[in-house]
Structure 1
Amino acid sequence: MNEVCLKLSDLFVSSGWGGYDQGRAPQWAHPKAQQQWFGAIAALEPFLRQTLPNGGEELAGICLASPAPVLKDPLLTQSFYQGIAVPTPWEEFSPLPCLAGGQSAWVQIPRMREIPLFPRDPLAEEQFCWLMTPKFGLLLLLGKNEQGLTQFYWSFDPEILQRAWLSLQTRLRCVFSPDLPFLEKTVADFDFPTPDFRLVSYFGQLMLDYQPNAPIFTPLQERESPELSPDVELLQALTHEVRTPLTSIRTLTRLLLRRKDLSPEVLKRIESIDRECSDQISRMDLIFRATELESTPLPELVVPLTVTSLEAVFQTGIPRWQRQAQRYKVNLKAQIPHSLPQVWSNPSLLDQVLGGMIEKFVRNFNGGGEIHLQITVAGDQLKVQFHTQSAHQANPVKALGELLMFQPETGCLSLNWDVTKNLFQLLGGKLTIRRRSPSEEVLTIYLKCEQRTTSSQSKEFAVPASCLRLA
């Protein structure tokens, strides 16, 4: 009966799907997630028309949604079973009539049925569409993440679809749905198929095409702020355009990695594709976040800081950075004390900015090189120093607009150092750069140590907006 207490977003969070980044302005979470939800719902009907048999009254699939129907095209509504989960107060609540023996024939089943939800059912807080067909299953969800912020999720993953069905099935059983025998038999016949990768890619592209055009990042009360520069608007559009298909590809690779019939060589290549997609997604995420910070309409940009264990950040980060460096023939050595004081920072943003710096180093190096990471305590600050040396003169870089650097030799995009310094300022720290030669640099990051007398475990760090604006 625990399934009745679950929200569908709990399935994504427990499966390791990332939450909304704490370094990103929280006021954008709800409008941005809503924009993604509306784009996905708008893309759904054209997607189904193109991928499923045309016309007829034969059963094409099951669609369970809340709080309103998502299928309105007559060609689809006559071939889909639609169950609409509706929050119902106790005084109006009554179980659905249970028919003797149940109904299992599609011709006898109503094309649409309301499914009452118990009062205070956590599912009533979410908007969702659970869809199952013989070719694929799809879950669209507008829910909450670990931080309690609104987030849009979508998945073709059979495991996620099956767990969501168990949760919905329990609710149908609790209200004595007369359609439950039919639904259980149909879902068993469809058997949660693994989708063709082309379907996942096609739906991802349709979601991009159907995204609402109106800018929704700025709340109404803040619209007196200056409009976004063309550079920032273009970067936000491009990073979103790149991340969505890469996320689709990564989803497909992880589905393939679960198969038991693949040879070691094929698995190795799929893991390489997954790794490359993850690196590119991380890079696009960091660039997108920087454009958000650069274009924030607030008079002061407030970033939540908390007591952060650098030991934990480096324990998880260093092995990942070393593997990344090795792919470019770069040796990363770390000298870290056994015990590190905690600092005031934002662990999510800090990990991502440090990862972006490492990637910038290794891709700048020409023919390999070395990175020495050393951490020391300097008074009430923690000093994190990167000493980088390329085997040959580093690849040349060119400025690209106000935010980016571009390497013509490798085609790599990265944030320029001015923006990176601003990000560290938001993290409660400071970045200095000393160039010893064209192939050697020393970068030092200073982070404020936690004062043991501090009683609060979290605070906000306000940076004047002018600190983020580049001349």
Structure 2
Amino acid sequence: MTTSPSLKAIQACMAEGVPPSGSDDASARRLWWAALDTLQEQLQEQNSTTGGLWLAAPLPALYDPTLLKAMRGWVWSPNPQGLPQLGPAGPTAAPGDPYKQLPLHPDDGHDPLLVVIQPTLQVALALQGPPDQRQLLMRSDPKTLGAILSLLEQRLRADAPDQADALHDAIRALGSLQSSSAYGEQFWPVVAERLARMAPSLTLQTLRDEPGRGDSNEPIEGDQYEGGAEAELSLLEAITHEVRTPLATIRTLIRSLLRRRDLAPVVMERLQQIDSECTEQIDRFGLIFHAAELQRQSTEPAELAQTDLGAVLQHLAPGWQMLLERRGLTLQIEISPNLPAVLSDPSRLEPMLGGLIDRSSRGLQQGGQLVLQLRPAGARLKLQIRGYNPSEQGRGLGTAEPTAELGPVLSWNPGTGSLQLSQAATRRLLASLGGRLAQQRDRGLTVFFPVAGRSQC
């Protein structure tokens, strides 16, 4: 009978020779998310579309669509029937399917595990340990990785023998592997830097009634670093990271589930709505995160490229239309023909434009309309976004919605109860994308983008 090692045994193998830790679960999981982001960025930098494989539990740890499409994957989950079934029914996944689902066993536990094997990068990540002794494990040495892969192959051999053969063939197809124990020298400093940027760096509390301190409420040590502004930015970055990462995992699961052909139309409709909501919030919190980063950085010249702004707007319009329809609003887009390219950053421009649409539509009543116009304006293109409530259509705009500034990045709309980027943060974000914001007194806004190839005043 084939032995079937538990995932806990694999994590224990990874922990051999690693000093114990005294972290609580919350701190360890923050490390886990930072490690995932770091690993995915390094995979993207190495152009990992060339292939590779990954194994994970209890959810797909990788959430970048490009990586999922380029690499073969296996996931041990609590309920494989509850996860999306990719490709044809049966144990063999078709080429190009993101991953194959397998069942967790009762003795596996639910601590996360991820093993990535690429020709130039092989690494295993896991969380392990009892409460108050939790630790993030990262192993890249050939000896430990060999032992981990052997255990994983034994596990696959017991769960789905054909998948064990598929794993063996996939590793052999990668050719010579350039593994190195020195990967940690690159990995841990980046994780530490990411945590330093995102985790709150100050303890915002005062000491009261401490002997020798009286009632002065003098700040504790560490609370004397440029006041609360830096702490606010750090906390904001940490919150946006904690929101975006699980939403990205949920969206990956939803999108793979949408590939099934046996779902009822109403189920497909609901899943598409969930996907849209996840994307909207991921982009929204991504903008907040980037705005916080820009706030603490010195201004540097942006690297901009020629961008067909009209084509970008037409590409994004269907998604915006669906978003507005859920709120009972309509979208009208007017783009002048034969417009020249502008200087911007297309990858970051798309979520920024979505943020402007969200910002301009938040205060509109059901039945309202959002009008978007792109017109030439000398050496620039002028993008205007205006919102009309039903009673205002055809006779001008209403008054501006009142907002309360909550710091350098966020503002709050008391009328809708929604958070949004402050005007200053919006202006700074647009400037990093080549745009210049001209906020109007009503609910409209105008952004000017420089035309590529023309001198600017």
2:342 partner letter:
V
**Residues 226, 253 of structure 1: CA spacing in aligned structure 2 closer, same or farther, 3 A cutoff?**
same
Partner of 2:89: none
Q: Kindly indicate which of the two structures has a greater share of residues assigned to strand.
A: 1
1:379 partner letter:
G
CA contact (8 A) 1:86 1:114 kept: no
Aligned: 1:416 with 2:418: no
Aligned ranges for residues 346-357 of structure 1 at < 5 Å? 346-357=345-356
CA contact (8 A) 2:372 2:386 kept: yes
| TM-score normalised by the chain length of structure 1 | 0.53
Taking the aligned partners of 2:407 and 2:258, their CA distance within structure 1 comes to: 39
CA contact (8 A) 1:399 1:406 kept: yes
**Residues 4, 349 of structure 1: CA spacing in aligned structure 2 closer, same or farther, 3 A cutoff?**
closer
Higher relative contact order (CA 8 A, sep 6+): 1
Partner of 2:300: 301
Secondary structure of 1:414's partner? strand
Shift of 1:286: 0.8
Aligned: 1:170 with 2:173: yes
Taking the aligned partners of 1:289 and 1:339, their CA distance within structure 2 comes to: 32
**Residues 165, 246 of structure 1: CA spacing in aligned structure 2 closer, same or farther, 3 A cutoff?**
farther
CA contact (8 A) 1:64 1:85 kept: no
Shift of 1:409: 5.2
- Deviations 1:406-438 (Å, cap 9, x if unpaired)? 234544221011211111222222111222xxx
**Residues 377, 230 of structure 1: CA spacing in aligned structure 2 closer, same or farther, 3 A cutoff?**
same
Root mean square deviation, CA, Å: 4.7
**Residues 165, 259 of structure 1: CA spacing in aligned structure 2 closer, same or farther, 3 A cutoff?**
farther
CA contact (8 A) 1:64 1:131 kept: no
**Residues 374, 114 of structure 1: CA spacing in aligned structure 2 closer, same or farther, 3 A cutoff?**
closer
CA contact (8 A) 1:365 1:395 kept: no
Taking the aligned partners of 2:356 and 2:339, their CA distance within structure 1 comes to: 21
CA contact (8 A) 2:52 2:174 kept: no
- Deviations 1:10-34 (Å, cap 9, x if unpaired)? 99527669xxxxxxxxxxxxxxxxx
Taking the aligned partners of 1:112 and 1:258, their CA distance within structure 2 comes to: 34
The percent of aligned pairs where both chains have the same amino acid is 31
Taking the aligned partners of 1:4 and 1:351, their CA distance within structure 2 comes to: 23
Taking the aligned partners of 2:235 and 2:375, their CA distance within structure 1 comes to: 40
Partner of 2:315: 316
Partner of 1:378: 377
Secondary structure of 1:402's partner? coil
Secondary structure of 2:356's partner? helix
Partner of 1:387: 386
**Residues 111, 377 of structure 1: CA spacing in aligned structure 2 closer, same or farther, 3 A cutoff?**
closer
1:356 partner letter:
G
Shift of 1:441: 2.7
Shift of 1:111: 10
Aligned ranges for residues 450-461 of structure 1 at < 5 Å? 450-451=452-453
Secondary structure of 2:381's partner? strand
Aligned ranges for residues 209-228 of structure 1 at < 5 Å? 215-217=195-197
Q: How many residues matched?
A: 302
Aligned: 1:428 with 2:434: yes
**Residues 271, 166 of structure 1: CA spacing in aligned structure 2 closer, same or farther, 3 A cutoff?**
farther
Secondary structure of 1:301's partner? coil
Shift of 1:396: 4.8
- Deviations 1:264-305 (Å, cap 9, x if unpaired)? 111211211111111111111111111111112x4x333211
- 5+ residue gaps, structure 2: 1-47, 55-61, 71-103, 130-138, 178-190, 199-224, 392-397
Aligned ranges for residues 389-404 of structure 1 at < 5 Å? 389-391=388-390, 396-404=402-410
Partner of 1:13: 66
Taking the aligned partners of 2:427 and 2:269, their CA distance within structure 1 comes to: 37
Taking the aligned partners of 2:145 and 2:435, their CA distance within structure 1 comes to: 59
- Deviations 1:188-223 (Å, cap 9, x if unpaired)? xxxxxxxxxxxxxxxxxxxxxxx86984449xxxxx
CA contact (8 A) 1:235 1:291 kept: yes
Taking the aligned partners of 1:162 and 1:322, their CA distance within structure 2 comes to: 47
**Residues 378, 327 of structure 1: CA spacing in aligned structure 2 closer, same or farther, 3 A cutoff?**
same
Secondary structure of 1:303's partner? coil
1:388 partner letter:
G
Secondary structure of 2:452's partner? coil
CA contact (8 A) 2:115 2:123 kept: no
- From 430, 441, 444, give the equivalent of 1:442: 444
Shift of 1:388: 1.9
Taking the aligned partners of 2:125 and 2:197, their CA distance within structure 1 comes to: 25
